[in-house]
Amino acid sequence: MSWSVGSVRPRSSRTPGCFRRKAATPGATVTAALNNLGSQLVNTLLPVLFVRELHLPAGALGLFWAVGGVGILLGSRCARPISARLGDGRTLALAGLCLAPAGLLVPLIGDGPWLLLAGAGWLLVSLKTGMDNVLGVSLRQRMTPDPLLGRMNATFRFLLFGALAVGSAISGLLGELIGPHATLWLGGAVRATAFLPVYLSPLRTRRRPPGAPPVAPPGVLPGAPPAATSPGLRRAPAASPVPGSGADEGCAPAR
What is the pLDDT at residue 239? 44
What is the pLDDT at residue 131? 94
What is the pLDDT at residue 89? 85
Q: Can you list the alpha helix ranges (DSSP code H) found in the chain? A: 15-21, 25-43, 46-47, 58-86, 88-99, 113-143, 149-177, 180-193, 196-199
Containing H/E element for 74? helix 58-86
Contacts 24+ apart (CB under 8 A), 115-118: 115/56, 115/60, 115/64, 118/64
Residue at 115: amino acid letter: L
Cα–Cα distance, 90 to 96 (Å, whole number): 10
150: Cβ–Cβ under 8 A, 6 or more apart, which residues? Answer: none
113: Cβ–Cβ under 8 A, 6 or more apart, which residues? Answer: none
Residues of the chain with pLDDT under 50: 1-24, 211, 215, 221-222, 228-251, 255
What is the pLDDT at residue 71? 95
Strand partners, 10: 3
What is the pLDDT at residue 82? 93
What is the pLDDT at residue 4? 42
What is the pLDDT at residue 137? 85
What is the pLDDT at residue 142? 83
